[in-house]
Amino acid sequence: MRLTVSHRTHYTYDAPVPYGLQQIRLRPKSRPGQIVEDWAIDVVGGQVEVTFEDEHANTVDLVSFAPNQTEIQITCRGTVDVENMAGVVGHQSGYVPMWLFQRSTALTKTGPLVQSLIDDVTRSDNALETLHGLSDQILNRVPYSTAQSSSELSAEDVLREGRGVCQDHAHVFITVARALGFPARYVSGYLMMDDRAEQDASHAWAEANLPGLGWVGFDISNGISPDGRYVRVATGLDYRGAAPISGMRYGNAVEDMTVSLQVQQQ
Amino acid sequence: MCTFGPMAKLPDFFDEMYGRGTEPRAPYEAYAKWFGGENNARLLEKSAEAEALFRLIGVTFNVYGDPDASERLIPFDLVPRIIAAQEWAKVARGIEQRVRALNAFLHDIYHRQEIVRAGRLPAEMLALNDAFLPEMIGMSPPGGIYTHIVGTDLVRTDDNEFYVLEDNARTPSGVSYMLENRETMLHMFPELFSKIRVQPVSQYPRSLRRSLSGCVPDACSGRPTLAVLTPGIHNSAYYEHAFLADQMSAELVEGHDLRVVDGRVAMRTTQGYHPIDVLYRRVDDDFLDPLTFNPDSMLGVPGIMDVYRAGGITIANAPGTGIADDKAIYSYMPDIVEFYTGEKAILNNVPTHRCSEPDALKYVLDNLAELVVKEVHGSGGYGMLVGPAASKKEISDFRKKLESNPDNYIAQPTLALSTVPILTEAGLAPRHVDLRPFVLVSPQGIEVTPGGLTRVALSEGSLVVNSSQGGGTKDTWVLEE
């Protein structure tokens, strides 16, 4: 499936920003099942300072604000050919040791509610079955809802709230999968929803490393493994390690953000 | 006349001036002769003079946990610690070997982790260690150097026995004392240095500059710009940061002086922003970059890790080297040296019980009164128990801490630290010492400055030499051949 993506993030500030940086992980890579035909990032109101590859092989751009801006806009456009691999991503390569994917992070800490979910998981000899079961259970406990209290909830907070978005689902899944002994990671990317061109936001899901199969994706919010409609952009131990955009700025200006995202089949 | 024998000698300890006898050992012969012709009262006056000198130049030290003494002078004792050339040669060779192994180890753990694959180091030693920085995985620092500056802590227990206590591969402090102590001695006793040929240490700042300049990033063009990053005037070692910047013609900067400009980390100058090639940072990893590490840090430079990873700046020492300072990793150092150099370690490691292991914990709990127990990630002599010097209550309090969190501790036998005499009102008196030589590492080689910082426990019988715990310092002489 050939997908075209156009993703614009527009920040506005109520006062000039004297100095600011945005770290962006918005460059999908070609890999088995995903060929990036073309991809470009355009920044208005700032410039790309450096580009490097992080420990998860994500290509990262560091963008600085032009001095005293009141707005900055980051646009990605590109075409990606995606094959349906039934969620199978393949074996780990590179230097990152497997144990790193079992470490807990601030957003994937275990608490009493996570623990009770761990206890409730139906464990089967078939790891895929166990994890699909876990995925269903999470969606059951945490129905999809965009009305949340915070944009960075830990797995425990998510279960307490009892509702959440794709990011929250992924955090709960990763936390429980790690507790069950599966290395797991967070994935940010794009999903073409079949019924519309205009998408609400970029998507997130999880991957777990299974014996024999390697990394396998689980889109908890949609109850499936990623198929030909998914563009995999960045991975990390949790949202913070794979966030499309994270930044800092000096001054007290209040930020407002609008996102416009189109994913379409060509 | 000064009397130097019979000194009130501590039994069972090797004295570096007298050995285990009453006659001065060879390296001290010339000094003992000179000392014998001196008058104790005059030397005590000199001692006061030295203190006034230190106050004047401002060598002070902040002590954490002591609100009344935010800036205290570290006491200086004017009896030098003297090491013969051939004794030093072995120490220097041992340090060089160890530092070479440390750099190879750091490269390995952030790449293929051969040492784990080979079964020589359990993966948990890395996995459970907060000082292991995932952000450094796959990153090769400019020049391949991780620990540009090392301060290996040594103790001596006998004529030919040196032990490494700590490697201090993170940000060793104290080099300014090494330099100021020598300066002071040269100033006060010029005649001694004409009688006794002592290897100089004053080249250290030049060597530091040369060594750091040997590790410039790809982006550097022309004469490298060096800077020292300090957390600011409230840091206990601020004096040293300013001193070193001045001595090696580097800029002294704080995080808020720096920005990312045109793909480099640059400092504000009157002519606009100027890029820095090598940053000797005295800010801990966690505070180095709020964009990558602790987001609340006000001390660091946002984006510096990104620039670093893109080859735009050298950070000395490299982020993530702190793992080598971990005391549990320390216990594997003999294996680490052998694994990467193919040689047996020249310097001894102190036998270390890892309290995370049940058998070791049992042994430690049964023998608390004889052991030194330290926090795995601790430094500065804080939070440790010196069994033989501790009261029953201190031991039982410590036992509770240890039992509730054994993973956090290691224990070592109490070493019979050597003594060197200090000057007291009653003449010479032996006090325990340790030694921190300073090591510079660059692609051109490893340079161990002959000498270092000798720290001395000023109260009789005390084995804790840390300046934060009331220790003093001495000039350290390595004799010419």
B88-130 pLDDT, tens per residue?
A: 999 999 999 999 999 999 999 999 999 999 999 999 999 988 8
Measured between alpha carbons, how far is residue B248 from residues B269, B280, B318, B441 in Å? 19, 11, 20, 16
Residues of B in contact with A96 (CB under 8 A): 134, 137-138
Residues A161 and A251 in one domain: no
Give the confidence band of B342 by pLDDT, cuts at 50, 70, 90.
very high
Cβ distance B134 to A96 less than 8 Å, yes or no, reads yes
Count CB-CB contacts under 10 A for residue B51: 14
Residues of A in contact with B138 (CB under 8 A): 53, 55, 94-96
By residue count, chain B amounts to 481
The pLDDT, as a whole number, for residue A196 is: 73
Least Cα separation, residue B379 to chain A (angstroms): 26
Residue in A191, A190, A192, A1 with CA at minimum distance from that of residue A81: A1
**Among B145-149, B287-291, B384-388, which is the least confidently predicted range?**
B384-388
The pLDDT, as a whole number, for residue B60 is: 57
**Among A191-200, A248-257, B457-466, which is the least confidently predicted range?**
A191-200
pLDDT higher than 70, residue B334? yes
Residue B342 is which amino acid? G
A211-227 pLDDT, tens per residue?
A: 999 999 999 999 999 99
Residues A92 and A195 in one domain: yes
Residues A96 and A185 in one domain: yes
The pLDDT, as a whole number, for residue B330 is: 94
- Measure CA of the first residue to CA of the last residue in chain B; give whole Å: 30
The pLDDT, as a whole number, for residue B183 is: 94
Of A52, A96, A248, the CB nearest to B291: A248
Of B126, B139, B310, the CB nearest to A51: B310
pLDDT higher than 90, residue A72? yes
Least Cα separation, residue B303 to chain A (angstroms): 7
Residues A116 and A237 in one domain: yes
Query: Residues B396-409: what's their mean pLDDT?
Result: 93
Cβ distance B263 to A103 less than 8 Å, yes or no, reads no
Least Cα separation, residue A193 to chain B (angstroms): 33
Cβ distance B262 to A21 less than 8 Å, yes or no, reads no
Interface of B with A (CB under 8 A): 110-113, 116, 123, 126-127, 134-139, 259-263, 290-291, 295, 302-303, 306-307, 309-312
The pLDDT, as a whole number, for residue B462 is: 83
Residues A106 and A212 in one domain: yes
Residues of A in contact with B126 (CB under 8 A): 97, 99
CB of A7 closer than 8 Å to CB of A75: yes
pLDDT cut 70: percent of chain A above it:
98
Half-sphere exposure of A172 (CA within 13 A, CB side): 35
Give the confidence band of A201 by pLDDT, cuts at 50, 70, 90.
confident
pLDDT higher than 80, residue B64? no
Residue A59 is which amino acid? T
Query: Residues A124-139: what's their mean pLDDT?
Result: 96
DSSP states of B132-177: --GGGTT---GGG-S-SEEE-EEEEEETTEEEEEE---S----HHH
Query: Any idea what the CATH number is for the domain that residue A184 is in?
Result: 3.10.620.30
pLDDT higher than 80, residue B458? yes
Of B111, B261, B306, the CB nearest to A52: B306
Q: Which of A137-151, B353-367, B379-393 has the highest mean pLDDT?
A: B353-367
Beta strands across the sheet bearing B409-413? B353-354, B409-413, B371-375, B385-386
Residue of A nearest to B259 (CA): A19
**Among B101-105, B374-378, B442-446, which is the least confidently predicted range?**
B374-378
Cβ distance B123 to A97 less than 8 Å, yes or no, reads yes
* Interface pTM, i.e. ipTM: 0.95
The pLDDT, as a whole number, for residue B58 is: 62
> Which of A23, A54, A93, A250 should one mutate to test binding to chain B, selecting the residue with the greatest count of B CBs within 10 A?
A54
Cβ distance A49 to B306 less than 8 Å, yes or no, reads yes
> Which of A53, A95, A105 should one mutate to test binding to chain B, selecting the residue with the greatest count of B CBs within 10 A?
A95
The pLDDT, as a whole number, for residue B61 is: 53
Average pLDDT for chain A: 94
In the DSSP assignment, the letter for residue B19 is B
CB of A193 closer than 8 Å to CB of A211: no
Least Cα separation, residue A248 to chain B (angstroms): 7
Query: Residues B233-239: what's their mean pLDDT?
Result: 87
CB of B315 closer than 8 Å to CB of B279: yes
A38-63 pLDDT, tens per residue?
A: 999 999 999 999 999 999 999 999 99
Cβ distance A50 to B295 less than 8 Å, yes or no, reads no
> Which of A55, A68, A237 should one mutate to test binding to chain B, selecting the residue with the greatest count of B CBs within 10 A?
A55
Average pLDDT for chain B: 91
pLDDT higher than 70, residue A31? yes
pLDDT higher than 70, residue B381? no
Half-sphere exposure of B288 (CA within 13 A, CB side): 26
> Which of B309, B313, B323 should one mutate to test binding to chain A, selecting the residue with the greatest count of A CBs within 10 A?
B309
Residues A39 and A99 in one domain: no
The pLDDT, as a whole number, for residue A148 is: 67
Residues A148 and A222 in one domain: yes
Cβ distance B260 to A95 less than 8 Å, yes or no, reads no
Residues of B in contact with A248 (CB under 8 A): 290-291, 295, 302
Cβ distance A55 to B111 less than 8 Å, yes or no, reads no
Residue in B256, B221, B264 with CA at minimum distance from that of residue A49: B264
Query: Residues A92-104: what's their mean pLDDT?
Result: 94
The pLDDT, as a whole number, for residue A147 is: 74
Cβ distance A50 to B310 less than 8 Å, yes or no, reads yes
Cβ distance A64 to B295 less than 8 Å, yes or no, reads no
CB pairs under 8 A between A and B: 78
Of A21, A55, A60, the CB nearest to B134: A55
Give the confidence band of B380 by pLDDT, cuts at 50, 70, 90.
low
Residues A55 and A182 in one domain: no
Query: Any idea what the CATH number is for the domain that residue A15 is in?
Result: 2.60.40.2250
Residues of B in contact with A245 (CB under 8 A): none
Residues A109 and A219 in one domain: yes
Residues A117 and A170 in one domain: yes
Cβ distance A96 to B113 less than 8 Å, yes or no, reads no
Cβ distance B127 to A23 less than 8 Å, yes or no, reads no
Of A23, A49, A95, the CB nearest to B137: A95
Query: Residues B283-289: what's their mean pLDDT?
Result: 95
- Structural domain including A92 reads 88-242
Residues 6 or more apart whose Cβ sits within 8 Å of residue A218: A87, A131, A132, A135, A173, A205, A206, A207, A208, A225
Cβ distance A62 to B138 less than 8 Å, yes or no, reads no
Residue in B204, B165, B167, B160 with CA at minimum distance from that of residue B182: B204
Cβ distance A52 to B110 less than 8 Å, yes or no, reads no
The pLDDT, as a whole number, for residue A234 is: 98
Q: What is the Cα B194 distance to its own chain's centre? A: 30
The pLDDT, as a whole number, for residue B127 is: 92
Interface of A with B (CB under 8 A): 19, 21, 23, 49-55, 60, 62, 64, 94-97, 99-100, 102-103, 237, 246-248
Least Cα separation, residue A132 to chain B (angstroms): 28
Domain count, chain A: 2
Least Cα separation, residue B261 to chain A (angstroms): 7
**Among A10-14, A27-31, B372-376, which is the least confidently predicted range?**
B372-376
Cβ distance A99 to B112 less than 8 Å, yes or no, reads no
Residues A52 and A175 in one domain: no
Higher-confidence residue of B201 and B221: namely B201
The domain defined by B351-413 folds into: Dna Ligase; domain 1 (3.30.1490)
Measured between alpha carbons, how far is residue B305 from residues A66, A188, B344 in Å? 20, 22, 36
